[in-house]
Structure 1
Amino acid sequence: MAKKKTTAQNIMGLVKNDPYLEPYNDAIRGRHEHALWKIKQLTDDGKQTLAEFASGHEYYGLHRTGNGWTFREWAPSATNIYLVGDFNNWSIDEQYKLHRIEGSGNWELNLEPQMMHHGDLYKMRVFWNGGEGERIPAWAQRVVQDENTKIFSAQVWNPEKTYRWRRKTFRPSVTPLLIYECHIGMGQDFEGVGTYTEFREKILPRIVADGYNAIQIMAIQEHPYYGSFGYHVSSFFAPSSRFGTPEELKALIDEAHRNGVAVIMDIVHSHAVKNEVEGLGNLAGDPNQYFYPGDRREHPAWDSLCFDYGRDEVLHFLLSNCKYWLEEFHFDGFRFDGVTSMLYYSHGLGEAFGGYGDYFNGHQDDNAICYLTLANELIHQVNKHAITIAEEVSGMPGLAAKFKDGGYGFDYRMAMNIPDFWIKTIKELPDEAWRPSSIFWEVRNRRADEKTISYCESHDQALVGDKTIIFRLIDADMYWHFKKGDENETVHRGIALHKMIRLVTAAAINGGYLNFMGNEFGHPEWIDFPRDGNGWSYKYARRQWNLVDNPELCYHYLGDFDREMLAVIKSEKNFNRTPVQEIWHNDVDQVLAFSRGELIFVFNFSPVRSFTDYGFLVPEGSYNVVLNTDSTRFGGNGFADDSVEHFTNPDPLFQPQQKGWLKIYIPARSAVVLRKK
C-alpha cells in the first residue's frame, strides 16, 4: 500500500490530466526538477528571487550615474576593449579603455560626465588573441543606422526629460483575449516605414474601434535587415530606431493601456542574426560566447545562430531581456517565437510527431526546455498578470500547463493546426465536400488543460510565397470585381466563406483569437519587404487602409463583420469559461450548430442548398438573431428577416430537459448567431 501511495504522489498534475502521458511521468518530472535545480542555482539557493537575478541590464551596458557614466560588458575572450565614438573622433584613446574586473569575464569603464553626451554614437573596439574589430555592445539599449552609410552604431541615450507614464499600472482583459497582430513599419498606407507615433495616432484608434483588447507587435528588437520581419535580431535590448525613439514607443504602449488594450511583444529568443559587427556572432573573439558550439551553432533553415541555453551567462542575458521589456516599456507579456525550433535538436525539421513518444525520445534540448520554464516563472514574478504565448507547432504536451503541474508555464499556445486546416481545405476540397464534423473537430482540437490562441491566418500566411485566405478564395478577381455592384460569383463565394471561416474559428476558442493586421478586411496583397528582387520597393510593405475606408468597395463588408463578430463574442460574459456544446451536425446537409452560454451558432456550409424550418433541440424560450453573415450589411444576400423573434416548439419527449425545437431558415453558405432572450 505504501508503495502505491508513493507512486501516486509522484505523478505530476500534467499526467493526472492526461493519463496517456503516464509512461512519460518520470521524464516530465525530470524536466520539472531540472528547472527547480537551475532556479536554486541561479538564485544562490534562494537568497534572491529569479526576478532579482535577472537584472543584468541594470549592471551591463551604458548607464548615467551620479558621478558620470559607467559602461560594462561581458567579454571573457577579449584582451583589450576601448569605447570609440563621436566623443573621441572614433579613435583609440586610453581615457576610454576598459579594465577587466578581476576574477571574471567582465570589463568596466567609468567616465566623467563631460566625456560623453546624449546623442553621441559609439561602439566597442575589441581586441582578442589573433584579431580585433568594432562591435556594438551586447546590452546596448539604443542602436541607430546612418541613413547614408547604412552602418549601425550604439547611441548614448539620456534625454533631459524621461517619459512620464500616464497609466502606470494596467491589467489586461483576457475574457477572451482578442489579439491584433501588427507591425509598426508596415502599418501605414504610404510606401515607406511607419513610426511609433503614426501607429499611435492613426492605427491604434482603428484597433480600439474594431474591438480588439490586445496588440501583438512584431519586429521591436533591433534587426539589421528590415526584410527579416524582425526575426534576425542583433540588439536584444534596443527597440528598433527605424520606427522612432524609446519615448515614442512608450507613448504608444501608454496610449494602448489608456484604451484598455494590452501590448504583447513578439520576442525572439529562439535564435540570433549571424552578423558580427552588428550582432553577437563574434563579440570578442569567441564565436560560441552566446551560442552552441559545433554543429548546433547554426540553424540549418534560418541562416542564424542558436543560443547556448545551458550556459548561465546566456540564461542571465535572456532572462534579463524579458524583465527589461516588462519593466522599462511596460509590455504586458510576450509571444515567444520559434519555440518548436528551441525544443528539439532537429529544430522540428523533418519530424512527424506522430505520437507522445516523439516528445520524450531523448531528442529534446533539455537546456532550452529549462530556459522556457524559467522565463515563464520570471515573467510572472515580475508581473503576475503578464501574458505569455508559445508559438509551437509540434504539439509538445504541457507548454501551456502550470509549472507546478509539470508544465512549461505559458499562459497560451498558438493553435497552429487551424490555419493549416483551412489552407488544406480551401486548396484540396470542393465546397460540397466541406464536412462540418471535421471543421468542428479541428477548431476544438486542443489539450483540455491548455489554453490556446485560435486563428485562421497570421502574418505567416500573408507573406510572399504564401496566400491569405481571401486570396485563396478569390485570387485575381479581387482586382477587378471588388467594387459594389460588380461582384461576380467568385467574389460572392469568397466574401461569404471568409466570414464563416472566421466566425466558426472565433466562436470555438478556449483562450483567445488572433488576426493579422488588415486580414480582417481581406487585404488584397501579400507582404514583401524591400529587397533586391523587387527593386527595394515598399509597395507591398504597407497596409492599404484606404480600401476598407472606401464605401464603394467590398472590403468594408468584411471589416464591419469582423467588428460585429468580436462584439457578439464579448457580449457573452465569461466567454472563455463557457463550454462549447455541440447541438447538431450533419455532413450530408453540411450543417453545424453549437452553443456557448446564451448564444447559438448555426452554420450552413452547403454552396447550393438552403433550408427552411431547419430544426434544433435547444433550451425552451425565444431567440433573437444577433449576427448573420448573409446580412446585406456584410455583403450578403439578405435572404432572412433578422428582425423575426424565434420561439421554440415544445416536444413532449424532451419536456423533462426543458428543450424544444428551434426552427430557422438557413440560406446556403451562411451562418447565423442567435441569443436566448
Structure 2
Amino acid sequence: MNKSYWGITQEELFLFNCGSSHHSYRFMGAHPIRWRGKPGVRFAVWAPEAKRVAVVGDDLGWDTEGACLEQVGSTGVHIGFVETISPGSRYKYRIVTAEDDIVLKSDPYAFYSERRPSTASIVYGLPEFTWSDQAWYKTQQKTPSYNQPLLIYEVHAGSWRIKGKEHYYTYEELAEMLIPYVLEWGYTHIEFLPLMEHPLDQSWGYQVTGFYSPTSRYGTPEQLKYFINECHRHGIGVILDWVPGHFCKDAHGLRRFDGSPLYEGADWKRAELPLWGTLSFDYAKSEVVSFLISNAIYWIEQFHFDGLRVDAVATMLDLHMDKPPELHTLNADGGRLNLNAIAFLRALNETVFHYYPHLLMLAEDSSSYASVTKPTDLGGLGFNYKWNMGWMNDMLRYMASSPADRTQQHHLVTFSIWYAFSENYVLPLSHDEVVHGKRSLLNKMWGSYEQKFAQLRLFYGYWIAHPGKKLLFMGGEWGQFDEWKDEHMLDWEVLQYESHQRMHRYVKELNYLYRSLPVLWQNDFDPACFQWIDVNNASQSQLSFIRKSESGMLLAIANFSLHHYCEYRIGAPMSGIYTLLLHSNEVKYGGNTTVLQRDVYSEEIPMHGQAYSISIELPPFTFLLYAFQSEE
C-alpha cells in the first residue's frame, strides 16, 4: 500500500475504488506539480474499459496520439506526469475504446473549462486563496441553523443583472452589486442556481458537463472565491444548487466516457431520463460515489459554500419518476425505490456532516418519501432541510383561484400544518414556479391589477408567518409582472412605477420583521410553536393562528376574501394588549388603509374556543400580524 504513482498512493486509489474517497479531487484530474525537481502536470482519470488513454492539447497537439498515461493495475485509473504541459493550457483525454474507437473527452475532474461552445478542459490545479471569513464561521458555530433565521434569496447569476446579451458580470462585479442589495433587503443567504460548467445556457446549470469547474461564464474560480469571501465578511451565507442526479449526453462529457456506460448504468432503462434528455448516475458503482461525494466536499472545502441544495431528489429516489412505462424498472425487492440512490444520499450527508457539522444540506424533493430530514441512524436520508413542495403547490393553486371558489378550497391553505412538523421544511417560492409559461408570482394572483398586488402582499405575509424557513426567487421581491426570462435581465425598470416600488418596500419591511422576531424562526420545527385560532372559516375564506416561543407570542390573521369587515372579532388566548406589527393593506405598501389602530385591548368575550377576543377592522385580501403583551 506504500507504492506511489507520481505522488498518488495505492491507498488513495483503493479508497477511490471502494467509494470511500471523500477528497478524490486532490489526486484525480490535472495537478501542476514538481516531480524529481521538474515542473509538469500529473494527470489521473478513471477509464477502466479503455485500451489506451493519452493527453492531447495545446502543448502536445490535438491531432496526435498525445502523451500516454499508465493504467494502474486493476484500479481502472490511468495516471501520468507530463513535463511539456503548463498551467493554463487546454487539454482533453484521447481515449481508445475496447472497440478501437477514438473519443476526445473533457476531464471529469477539471477545475476550470473553456467557455461554451468550446469544450476543452484547462489545467488549473488548486491554487491557494487567502480567506478572511474566520469570524463568519465562528458566528455560525455558536447556534444551530434551526434556531436562526433562514431567509434565502435565490439567484440566477446570468440574469439578475447583465451588461448585454451573453455579456455577463463577473463574480467580482456581482459582489459589488448583489451583496449590498441582499444586505439592504435583509436576506440571510444567497442561493445560486448551479455554477458548474454546462453547455446550454437555457439549462440554467442543471445539465452539467464540468462538475468540478465553476462556469467560466462569470469568471475564474478565484473570482468565485472572492465573491463568497465577501459575502461572509458581510454576514451573508451562500448556498449552491448541486446536481448529483443526472448529467449531459454531450459527446465531450461523461456519457460512455471510456466507450462503455461508465458513470451511467449499463441498463439503459435506468440510465435514460427522457424528460430532460440526460443520463442518471449509477450509484451502484463505488467510483461514481467517490466522484460525487468528493465533488460535494470540493465545493464546500475549496469554495467555502455554506450549504448545498440537492436537486431532483425525487427523481433519484424513484425508478419510475419522469419516465414512460416502457422505461420502468424494479429494485431487488420488487419495488420502485432506487436503493442505491438512498444509500448514496445517506453516505453523502453522513460524510458532509462529519467534516462540516454546521452545513446546510437541503433536499429539493417532491416525493412522499418519509424521514428525508431525519438522521440516517434513525432510518432517514440525513438532510437537515427539505423544500416543502406540497405547501407551495397548494398555496399557488389557491391564490390563483377566484374568491368564489376559495370557499370550496380552504383545505389548500390549512392542510400543510398537518405535516409541517414531520420534516424540517423550507417554504420555497423558487425559479421553477415563474418560468415556462407558469407566470410570475404576481401574475398568478387572481383579479385586477390592484387586486394582484394586494393578494401577493397577503400571500407573502402568510408565507413569513407560516412555520418553516423561507426562500424567494429574485424579482419576486418587487412583484415582477412578467415571468422570468433566463436570457434577459430582470425587469428592474418596473421599479419606476409606484405599485412595484411599494411592493419592494413591503417585502423589505417584511424581511426585517421576520429577522427581528425570533418567535418566527426559533421553534420552526416544534408543533408547540403553532396554534390555530380560527381554522375552519371556509365560508369567509379567513384564518387566524398563533406563533409562539420563549421570545413571545404573535397573532396572525389572513383574509383571503373580497369582503371588508369594519368590526371583525377574533379569539385571543390571553388577556392583554395586541400591538399591530404589520398591515399589508397600508397605503405605504400600495393598499388603501390610512387609519390604523396600533394597540387593541382584549375583551373577556369568548370566541373561537378562546376565553378572550379582540375586535378589528379587516379589509379584503389583507394580512395582519399582532404582537401580544400583558397589560402589566
Do both proteins adopt the same fold according to a TM-score greater than 0.5, normalized to the shorter chain? yes
What displacement does 1:284 show? Answer: 1.5
Structure 1 residue 670 corresponds to structure 2 residue 625:
no
Relative to 1, partners in 2 of residues 1:379 and 1:157: Cα closer, same or farther, differing over 3 Å?
same
Measured after TM superposition, the shift of residue 196 of structure 1 is: 1.4
Deviation at 1:505, TM superposition (A): 2.1
Q: Which residue of 2 aligns with 1:219?
A: 194
Output the CA distance in 1 between the equivalents of 2:198 and 2:171.
16
Corresponding position of 1:116: 85
Helix, strand or coil: the match of 2:81?
strand
Q: Which residue of 2 aligns with 1:84?
A: 56
* Structure 2 CA distance for partners of 1:404 and 1:424, relative to 1, 3 Å: same
Alignment of 1:245-260 (within 5 A): 245-260=220-235
* C-alpha distance in structure 2 between counterparts of 1:461 and 1:602, whole Å: 26
Matches within 5 A, 1:267-286: 267-277=242-252, 279-286=253-260
What is the deviation of 1:400?
1.1
- 8 Å contact 2:465–2:520 — kept in the other structure? no
The answer to whether the aligner puts 1:100 opposite 2:71 as a matched pair is yes
Q: CA 1:158/1:405 → structure 2, altered by over 3 Å: closer, same or farther?
A: closer
Larger deviation: 242-251 or 564-573? 564-573
User: How many Å apart are 1:604 and its aligned residue?
Assistant: 1.6
In structure 1, the residue matched to 2:545 is 594
Matches within 5 A, 1:308-387: 308-347=282-321, 362-387=335-360
Q: Deviations over 1:542-596 (max 9, x none)?
A: 2123433x3x431122221112112222222253316111112422232211111
CA contact (8 A) 2:572 2:610 kept: no
Tell me whether 287-296 or 183-192 shows the greater mean CA deviation: 287-296
Contact 2:186 2:512 in 1 (8 A): yes
What is the distance in 1 between the residues matched to 2:610 and 2:372? 41
Letter paired with 2:470: Y
- Taking the aligned partners of 1:460 and 1:619, their CA distance within structure 2 comes to 42
What is residue 3 of structure 2 aligned with on the other side?
A: none
Q: Which of these residues, 576, 580, 591, is aligned with residue 636 of structure 1?
A: 591
Contact 1:443/1:508 (<8 A) preserved: no
Assess if the C-alpha contact under 8 Å between 2:398 and 2:409 holds in 1. no
CA–CA distance in 2 between the matches of 1:77 and 1:47? 20
Given that 1:176 and 1:574 are in contact with CA atoms closer than 8 Å, whether structure 2 keeps it comes out as no
Any unmatched runs of 5+ in structure 1? Answer: 1-42, 352-357, 475-488, 530-537
Do the aligned residues in 2 keep the contact of 1:639 with 1:667 (CA within 8 Å)? no
What's the counterpart of residue 5 of structure 2? none
Distance 1:507 1:211, change over 3 A: same
1:438 aligned residue? 411
Unaligned runs of 5+ in 2: 1-10, 326-330
Shift in Å, 1:445: 4.4
Paired residue for 2:505?
A: 560
1:133 pairs, out of 94, 103, 117, with 103
Matches of 2:443 and 2:401, distance apart in 1: 15
Give, in whole Å, the separation in 1 of the partners of 2:409 and 2:577: 26
User: Structure 1 residue 151 and structure 2 residue 118: aligned?
Assistant: yes
Task: For residue 649 of structure 1, give the secondary structure of its aligned residue in structure 2.
Answer: coil
C-alpha contact 2:54 2:69 (8 A) present in aligned 1: yes
Q: Shift of the alpha carbon at 1:361?
A: 6.9
SS of aligned partner of 2:415: helix
Going from structure 1 to structure 2, the CA distance change for 1:78 and 1:388 (only over 3 Å counts) comes to same
Asked if the contact 1:402/1:408 (under 8 Å) is kept, the reply is yes
Aligned residue in 2 for 1:59: 27
Q: Is the 8 A contact 1:470 1:494 kept in 2?
A: yes
Instruction: Tell me, yes or no, if the aligned pair for 1:142 and 1:156 is still in contact at 8 Å.
Output: yes
* TM-score (ref. length: structure 1): 0.81
User: Tell me, what secondary structure is at the counterpart of 2:543?
Assistant: strand
Q: CA deviation at 1:141?
A: 0.9
Question: Is the 2:32–2:123 Cα contact (8 Å) retained in structure 1?
Answer: no
1:617 corresponds to which of 555, 572, 593? 572
In the TM superposition, residue 181 of structure 1 has moved relative to its aligned partner by 1.1
Q: Is the 8 A contact 1:219 1:240 kept in 2?
A: no
Q: 1:347 and 1:522, CA in 2 relative to 1: closer, same or farther beyond 3 A?
A: same
Aligned partners of 1:584, 1:188: CA distance in 2, in Å? 44
Q: Is the 8 A contact 1:622 1:646 kept in 2?
A: yes
Contact 1:399–1:410 (8 Å) recurs in 2:
yes
2:445 corresponds, among 459, 467, 473, to: 473
In the alignment, the residues of structure 2 paired with residue 398 and residue 423 of structure 1 have an alpha-carbon distance, to the nearest angstrom, of: 25
Structure 1 residues 177, 51: closer, same or farther in 2, change over 3 A? Answer: farther
Q: How does 1:422-461 map to 2 (within 5 A)?
A: 422-431=395-404, 433-434=406-407, 437-446=410-419, 448-455=421-428, 457-461=429-433
Which of residues 294, 304, 307 in structure 1 aligns to 2:281?
Answer: 307
What is the rounded CA distance, in whole Å, between the counterparts of 2:162 and 2:592 in structure 1? Answer: 31
Equivalent residue letter for 2:288:
V
Task: Give how far 1:106 is off.
Answer: 0.8
> Aligned letter for 1:553?
E
C-alpha distance in 2 between matches for 1:47 and 1:252: 33
What CA distance in whole angstroms lies between the structure 2 residues aligned with 1:284 and 1:100? 13
Q: Is the 8 A contact 1:186 1:194 kept in 2?
A: no
1:238 to 213, 233, 250: 213
Give the CA deviation at 1:615: 3.4
TM-superposition CA deviations, 1:155-200 (whole Å, max 9, x none): 12259x7321110452555523211111111110543333312321
CA distance in 2, matches of 1:436, 1:593: 16
**Alignment partners' CA distance in 2, 1:361 and 1:424:** 35
1:309 shift after superposition: 0.5
Confirm or deny that 1:523 pairs with 2:480. yes
Q: Which amino acid aligns with 1:581?
A: Q
Paired positions, count:
586
8 A Cα contact 1:189 1:544, kept in partner: no
SS in 2 for 1:401: coil
Going from structure 1 to structure 2, the CA distance change for 1:640 and 1:581 (only over 3 Å counts) comes to farther
Q: CA RMSD in A?
A: 2.7
Counterpart Cα distance in 2 of 1:408 and 1:314: 19
How far, CA to CA, are the matches of 2:203 and 2:570 in structure 1?
52
Residue 520 of structure 2 corresponds to residue 580 of structure 1: no
Residue 228 of structure 2 aligns with an amino acid whose one-letter code is: I
Equivalent residue of 2:250, what SS?
coil
* CA deviations over 1:604-644 (Å, ceiling 9, x no partner): 222133231523223111122111101111101024414x3
CA distance, structure 1, for counterparts of residue 545 and residue 315 of structure 2: 36
Superposed displacement of residue 368, structure 1: 0.5
Rounded to whole Å, the distance in 1 between the matches of 2:445 and 2:519 is: 34
Partner in structure 1 of residue 45 of structure 2: 73
Task: Determine the C-alpha separation between the residues in 2 that align with 1:425 and 1:135.
Answer: 49
Q: TM-score, normalised by structure 2?
A: 0.87
One-letter amino acid of the structure 2 residue matched with residue 547 of structure 1:
V
Give the Cα separation in 2 of the matches to 1:666 and 1:247: 53
Matches of 2:156 and 2:231, distance apart in 1: 15
- 2:8: which partner in 1? none
